[in-house]
Amino acid sequence: MAEEFGQGTKCVQGGYRPGNGEPRQVPIVQSTTFKYETSEAMGRLFDLEDSGYFYTRLQNPTNDAVAAKIAELEGGTAAMLTSSGQAANFFALFNICENGSHIVASSSIYGGTFNLIAVTMAKMGITATFVEPDCSEEELNAAFQENTRAVFGETIANPALTVLDIEKFAKAAHAHGVPLIVDNTFPTPVNCQPIKWGADIVTHSTTKYMDGHGAGVGGAIVDSGNFDWMANAEKYPGLCQPDDSYHGIVYAEKFGKEGAFITKATSQLMRDFGSIQSPQNAFLLNLGLESLHVRMARHVENGQAMAEYLSKHPKIERVSYPGLESDPFYPLAQKYLPKGGCGVVSFEIKGGRAAAEAFMKELKIAAIETHVADARTCCLNPATSTHRQMTDEQLAAAGIPAGLVRLSCGLEDAADLIADVERALEAVS
């Protein structure tokens, strides 16, 4: 869809353009395989000489239509869907890293991604240096090594709600000849387009706001088409040297800056690891995308109202929400998220773990869930759930006080959400 259309129009109509008499809604192509008249025609697909479908583990028309919409929303040249956000971040990194590579990553990222980089990828011989998201340019540059192949961060971190200075991270990455990968799950391209600020690759857990209804786990990777792999060919042999598993194709030569990254991730990683999103889930994801721009505005409105209410409450020690003027990340939010960030607010209740438990037990609208970014408001106390194996001292050291509650404001009426929280706080002694 042409660049001049707004994000709302792209949310509704991007990616899929039916011809005369074709279905108005993206069809679910519920087929594992595709039929050909000659072996020669299929052979051309295997050689990547023609584009087309042959097996849904690699590509499926439903997924491609939805991926194309996400590419348009992010302002990228190519995109792919994956089975989860975890698969998206793994593929984005592993597409350009191998045994002996090194990653520079913000320390303020989703726990699953931290584990992926710090533990699981370390077992593959890929090491990492973590930097604070608000580190100085000197500290950031000092984290690079001769074998660094990627820089990684989250636009708004889950759950810390820090805001990434995308331009600063992109500048450092490019000065060292490597791309910046940004996980844009929380703001979505409705509230921030990291590519406009210099990010090269954008990833998503579509499980969150993009789906928005808690219906399907999924992920996406978008390529900006801006990073010049060939100019840094010695760093990226997988893109710039012949691929033996594809008759010596050189991806960066054959598909250019615009197509090499996603073609390689599809034809190698999806082929070998097989983490495709099911076409059924891609269809549900597309329904979510059709209202993303309308929903994000309401999530932000509810998150902002909740953060302001909580910041004045005597039983609340501290509120993190980059839309609050008192928040240390407010200036970066003003720059990168002028329409607001997301509906997730985190706050610390006075009285620690017991107070948080008592508070959450009293909530009637907000449900206790290991989830965020849903139409229905939900909450979590890390100390008694995801981080329950840690002592209060360990929690404090990790920046997760025992009384911390992560509240994901849904699409309900703000007045009802605030009344629910008010009543529950009254029950806390």
Ligand X SMILES: *Cc1c(COP(=O)(O)O)cnc(C)c1O
Q: Which residues bind ligand X (CB under 6 A)?
A: 84-86, 110, 112-113, 154, 158, 183, 185, 205, 207-208, 217, 219
* Residue type at position 212: G
Q: Which is nearer to ligand X, 158 or 381 (CB)?
A: 158
Shortest distance, CB of residue 63 to ligand X, whole angstroms? 15
Report how far residue 224's alpha carbon sits from residue 59's, in angstroms, rounded to the nearest whole number: 20
- 3-state DSSP call for residue 60? coil
CB 341, min distance to ligand X, A: 12
Task: Check if the beta carbon of residue 192 is closer than 8 Å to that of residue 198.
Answer: no
In whole angstroms, the minimum distance from the beta carbon of 188 to ligand X comes to 11
**Which helix (DSSP H) or strand (DSSP E) does residue 242 occupy?**
none
Q: C-beta of 141: minimal distance to ligand X in Å?
A: 25
Nearer to ligand X, 373 or 428 (CB): 373
- Shortest CB 180 distance to ligand X, Å: 16
Q: How far is the CB of 111 from ligand X (least distance, A)?
A: 9
CA distance 252 to 259: 8
Report which residue type is found at 178.
Answer: V
Residue type, 132: E
How many CB atoms neighbour CB 132 within 10 A? 12
Nearest to 218 by CA among 78, 63, 93, 69: 63
Full DSSP string of 188-232: HHHH--GGGGT-SEEEEETTTTTT-SS----EEEEE-S---TGGG
Whole-number minimum distance, CB 228 to ligand X, in Å?
27
Instruction: Name the minimum Å distance from CB 375 to ligand X.
Output: 16
* Virtual torsion, Cα 116, 119, 124, 129, nearest 10 deg: 90
**Cα dihedral 320, 197, 143, 93 sign:** positive
Angle, alpha carbons 222-200-101 (nearest 5°): 100
Cα distance between residue 280 and residue 287, in whole Å: 11
- Burial classification of residue 129, based on how many CB atoms lie within 10 Å of its CB (0-12 exposed, 13-18 middle, 19 or more buried): middle
With respect to ligand X, which residue has the nearer C-beta, 27 or 112?
112
Minimum Å gap between C-beta 218 and ligand X is: 6
- By C-beta, is 179 or 219 nearer to ligand X? 219
Cis peptide before 159 (omega within 30 of 0): yes
Nearest CB to ligand X, comparing residues 8 and 112: 112
Q: Which is nearer to ligand X, 221 or 363 (CB)?
A: 221
Residue nearest to ligand X (CB): 85
The nearest distance, CB 409 to ligand X, in angstroms, is 15
Cα separation, 154 vs 290, whole angstroms: 24
Closer residue to ligand X (CB): 68 or 87: 87
Nearer to ligand X, 249 or 265 (CB): 265
Q: Which is nearer to ligand X, 182 or 355 (CB)?
A: 182
CB of 363 to ligand X, least distance (A): 22
- Nearer to ligand X by Cβ, of 216 and 238: the residue is 216
Q: Which is nearer to ligand X, 355 or 378 (CB)?
A: 378
Cα–Cα distance measured from residue 409 to residue 374, given in angstroms and rounded to the nearest whole number: 8
The answer to whether 201 and 169 are in contact (CB under 8 A) is no
What are the φ/ψ torsions at residue 133 (nearest 5 degrees)? -60, -25
Residue 151: burial class (beta carbons within 10 Å; 0-12, 13-18, 19+): buried
CA distances to 132, 156, 169, 291 from 106, rounded to whole Å, are: 6, 11, 9, 31
